[in-house]
Amino acid sequence: MSAELSNNSLINKKVIFEANAFRRVPIHLGAKIDFLPDGTLLLTSGDGFDYKEQAQSLNSHFGKIIRLNKDGSVPSDNPFVDIPNALPEIFSYGHRNMQGLVVMEDGRIFEHEHGPRGGDEFNLIEPGKNYGWPAITYGIDYSGAVISPFTKMDGMEQPLKYWVPSIAPSDMIYYDGDLYPELKNSFLVTALKSRDVKKIKKINSLFSEESIFSNLKSRLRSIGISPSGEIYLLTDGRKGKLLKVTFTEK
C-alpha cells in the first residue's frame, strides 16, 4: 500500500501490489522493503513455511524478492518479464524467510534470511538468481529431519555467510556514519536466538564477524538509524524496549 503522511495521518491510501502467496498461517512473511537507486521498490515475500517448495516456482510469490515501480507497475527490465508462466514482478527466488534487506549507494543488494534449524544466510542479491531454498540448505528441519541432502547445486547461489547453529537474524543496517567509529563500514545484524548484534565487515574478499551488545542479554528484533545518524535497537517481547546506542570515547 502507498500513502501520504499529512499531520500524522495517512491519506490517499492505495493498494499497489498484492502478492500471489495466500497462506493459512501468518508466518514466514518476509515483508522487508527498500528502494533501489533507480527509484524502483524491492520487497520480500517469505515462503509461508508450509509452502516452501513454491520458493522454486516462478508462478507464485512465495520465497521471492519482488521489484516494482512506485505505482505498482512492473519494471520492463525485470529478469522474468518475458518468461512464459513466470510472474513478472519476481526479481530473485529460492528464499526462505527474509528479515534483513539493505540497498547500498552503488545499488548492490544484501539480504539475510532465517534458515530452519541452522542455515541462516547472508546473501548478495542479483537479478534472476536462484538462492536455492529448499533444494539446498545448510540447515535441517526443526524435528531433526533432513530437508535436503545438498548444500550446493549447479545454478543455485551460495551465501556469502551462513550460521550453524542458527542465530535467528531479524533485521540489518549498513553503518557508514561517523558517530560510532568502531562500527563504521559494517553491516549490523540483530539476532533473536544469539541475543546480540553481529558486526559483519568485509576485509579483502572475506567477511569477518564480531558479536556486540551481547551484554543486553535480550532478543533483538530490529535496528535503525535516525536522521541524525544515531543507532537504535528494539528488543523483543511483551516488555520490549527501544534503546539508543551511545558512544563513549576511550
Catalytic residue, candidates 28, 95, 112, 114: 28
What are 233's three cell numbers? 535497537
Distance from C-alpha of 29 to C-alpha of 19, rounded to nearest angstrom = 11
DSSP character string of 106-124: TS-EEEEEE-SBS-EEEEE
Question: What is the distance of C-alpha 54 from the center of its chain?
Answer: 18
**Annotation marks residue 61 as catalytic:** no
The alpha carbon torsion through 45, 201, 209, 212 (nearest 10 deg) reads -90
Omega within 30 of 0 (cis) for the link into 169:
no
Burial of 248 (0-12, 13-18, 19+ CB in 10 A): exposed
Residues labelled as active-site residues: 28
